[in-house]
Amino acid sequence: MFIAIRELEFRPLDFREEIRPGAIDLGPDIEQKSPLEASGHADLVEEHHGKHQIIKDIRLKGDLSTRLQVACARCLEPVKHDVTRRFDLLYRPQGSDAGHEELSVTDAEAEIGYYRGDGLELEDVLREQVLLALPLKSLCRQDCKGLCAHCGKNLNEAQCSCTSVEEDPRWIALKDIRKKLE
């Protein structure tokens, strides 16, 4: 859904979108497991700069929810996240800040981004908000033991027979020789 400045000049816009898994590219590591529900409101905000310049901003308020699946940072098992996020964003035309650092910010609460051309693609905003809603690092559980660095076994499921101490490479070489002799 494209939010066009030209339309906002006539009236504010309400949106309610349901985005099926796969419709938004969240990258190779994140899987969307349920439809992404988003609803909210888009407004035109005019910033008067000096006497003649009016900067047209888009203010986007709303919330979203969906269910995502990522890999545990330690053991790579799938971890599900029910994600909800409320957003209040202000988009300025790209380049409008150049040389005008003192532009009055309409609302200090709003996060500021930039749009290019005639408006804003709602899906791009939602993608960014979904990614921000995810923790940087996901663990399947707080005390996940991860994978053994030697044999790759999932240590939550079973202890492997590798020694936990880093082995001396000379011993490994000896072991290899012994294996060959056996």
Nearer to Zn ion, 104 or 161 (CB): 161
Q: Are strands 78-93 and 111-115 parallel, antiparallel or unpaired?
A: parallel
* HEC profile of 90-145: EEEECCCCCCCCCCCCCCCCCEEEEEECCEEEHHHHHHHHHHHHCCCCCCCCCCCC
3-state secondary structure of 76: coil
Q: Does 162 bind Zn ion (CB under 5 A)?
A: yes
Q: Exactly one of 8, 44, 75, 126 binds Zn ion (CB under 5 A); which one?
A: 75
Q: Does 160 bind Zn ion (CB under 5 A)?
A: yes
By CB under 5 A, the count of residues binding Zn ion is: 10
Task: Please choose, out of 28-36, 124-132, 161-169, 171-179, the segment that lies near Zn ion by the rule CB under 5 A.
Answer: 161-169
Whether the Cβ atoms of residue 61 and residue 39 lie closer than 8 Å to each other:
no
Q: Does 151 bind Zn ion (CB under 5 A)?
A: yes
Work out how close the CB of 73 gets to Zn ion at its nearest, in angstroms, rounded to a whole number.
Answer: 7
> Which residues of the shown chain bind Zn ion in the complex (CB under 5 A)?
72, 74-75, 140, 144, 148, 150-151, 160, 162
